[in-house]
């Protein structure tokens, strides 16, 4: 099988490796061919280098690395060092914005060390997920992408328990429903993500994504990183994920000055 490494490994610094010369160094993101998993602590692997394979070597098994990473000194505090899709969050303050029947499977362990992958021929992605910090322009990019080719790209209308305002039409900006129906669908795990604001529920339904895919379009989603747990762990949605990073301070200052000189506001970028 093939695995994507989700951490860096340097055998020259591994005190548990019996013989450091036979260790296989790798970096986060490298693809490894696992040759032998018979030993509970050390796997034999080769690093995939383009179309060829590198020399074999030993790497820590999943079980060994989980035990090693899980050993935390009592005085250490890693509460603020959890990272999801590039965004640092606090475990104590984490608000789950997704529901799934496989919730327990996804969250059984927070240690992400190896991810099984497979070589695939080129294929069409079913969803395009845009993630990133607030204010980097995800919604703007999504709208421009859809407007550039509405026959190829599309997006979905979220649901809300909020009553419609004056001139609001059902199915335009939102599908309006009652709170009881939304809570029932949440319990049935029918939402990709959901949350509450101003006393009203808002959410994105999985069936809406499915309908757009069946229509032959790529569904463009401006979603939270937590939603990727459902999208990424399913062959049904097969997402292409794009992380939009915030610009550097110098570029941010230039954009701010440009916005002030032209009368534009950065608040339009969401």
Distance CA 220, CA 11 (A): 42
Q: What local confidence, expressed as pLDDT, does residue 148 receive? A: 95
pLDDT at 30: 93
The mean pLDDT value for 81-92 works out to 40
pLDDT over 90 for what percent of the chain?
50
pLDDT for residue 72:
54
Domains recognised in the chain with CATH numbers: 1-74+91-119 (2.30.30.40), 127-262 (3.40.50.300)
Q: Check whether 225 has a pLDDT greater than 80.
A: yes
Cβ–Cβ < 8 Å for 96, 195: no
Is 268's pLDDT higher than 70?
A: no
- 236-250 tens-digit pLDDT: 898 999 998 887 788
The pLDDT tens digits for 109-141 are: 457 899 888 877 777 889 999 998 887 888 999
The answer to whether the pTM exceeds 0.85 is no
Q: What is the pLDDT of residue 106?
A: 47
Mean pLDDT of the chain: 82
**CB-based burial label for 98 (10 Å; 0-12, 13-18, 19+):** buried
Mean pLDDT of 159-178: 93
Per-residue pLDDT for 79 more than 80? no
- In which region does residue 51 sit, left (phi positive, over 0), alpha (psi from -120 to 50) or beta (all else)? alpha
CA atoms within 13 A on the CB side of 250: 0
Choose the weakest-confidence range: 62-71, 100-109, 203-212, 221-230. 100-109
């Amino acid at each position: 099988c093939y695995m994507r490494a989700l951490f860096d490994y340097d055998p020259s610094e591994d005190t548990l490796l019996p013989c450091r010369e036979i260790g296989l160094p790798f970096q986060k993101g490298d693809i490894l061919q696992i040759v032998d998993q018979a030993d509970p602590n050390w796997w034999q692997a080769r690093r995939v280098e383009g179309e060829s394979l590198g020399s074999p070597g030993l790497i820590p098994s999943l079980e060994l690395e989980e035990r090693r990473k899980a050993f935390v000194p009592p005085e250490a505090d890693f509460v603020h060092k959890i990272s999801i899709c590039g965004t640092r969050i606090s475990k104590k303050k984490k608000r789950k914005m997704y529901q799934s029947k496989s919730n327990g499977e996804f969250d059984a362990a927070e240690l992400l060390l190896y991810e099984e992958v497979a070589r695939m021929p080129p294929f069409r992605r079913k969803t395009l997920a845009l993630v990133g910090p607030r204010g980097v322009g995800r919604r703007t990019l999504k709208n421009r992408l859809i407007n550039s080719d509405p026959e190829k790209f599309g997006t979905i209308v979220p649901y809300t328990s909020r009553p419609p305002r004056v001139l609001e039409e059902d199915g335009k900006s939102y599908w309006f429903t009652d709170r009881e129906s939304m809570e029932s669908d949440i319990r049935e795990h029918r939402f990709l993500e959901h949350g509450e604001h101003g006393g009203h529920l808002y959410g994105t339904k999985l069936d809406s994504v499915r309908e757009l895919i069946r229509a032959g379009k790529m569904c463009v989603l401006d979603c939270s990183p937590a939603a990727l747990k459902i999208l990424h762990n399913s062959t049904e949605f097969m997402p292409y994920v794009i992380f939009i990073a915030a610009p550097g301070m110098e570029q941010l200052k230039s954009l701010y000055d440009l916005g002030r000189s032209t009368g534009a506001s950065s608040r339009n970028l969401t």
